[in-house]
A = this chain, B = another copy of it.
Amino acid sequence: MNGRAYSALGAHLKTLREARGLTLSRLAADAGLAKSSLSRLERGDANPTLDTLWRLARELDVTFSALTAPIAKTTSVDAPLPAATDDVALTLVERGMGAPAVDVYLMHLMPGAVRDAEPHTPGTEESVQLIAGSVSVGSQKTSGTLAPGERLTFDAGQAHRYVAYDDGATLLVTIVYPHRHEEGDS
Contacts and interface: CB of A to CB of B under 8 A. Distances in A.
Interface of A: 1-2, 5-6, 9, 16, 47-51, 53-55, 58, 60-66, 68-69, 71-77, 79, 81-82, 85-86, 89-102, 104, 106, 108, 125, 127, 129-133, 147-149, 151, 170, 172, 174, 176, 184-185
Contacts of A96: 130-133, 148, 170
Given A1-B51, A101-B148, A149-B100, A91 B77 contact: no
Dominant secondary structure at the A interface: mixed
Nearest to A99: B148
Nearest to A77: B54
B64 A68 contact: yes
Contacts of A102: 129-132, 148-149
Contact of A172 (B49, B104, B130, B185): B104
Q: Which are the 7 A-B pairs with shortest beta-carbon distances?
A: A96-B132, A149-B176, A96-B131, A98-B148, A63-B89, A98-B132, A62-B92
Contacts of A69: 65, 91-92, 94-95
A16 B95 CA distance: 10
B65 A72 contact: yes
A98 B65 contact: no
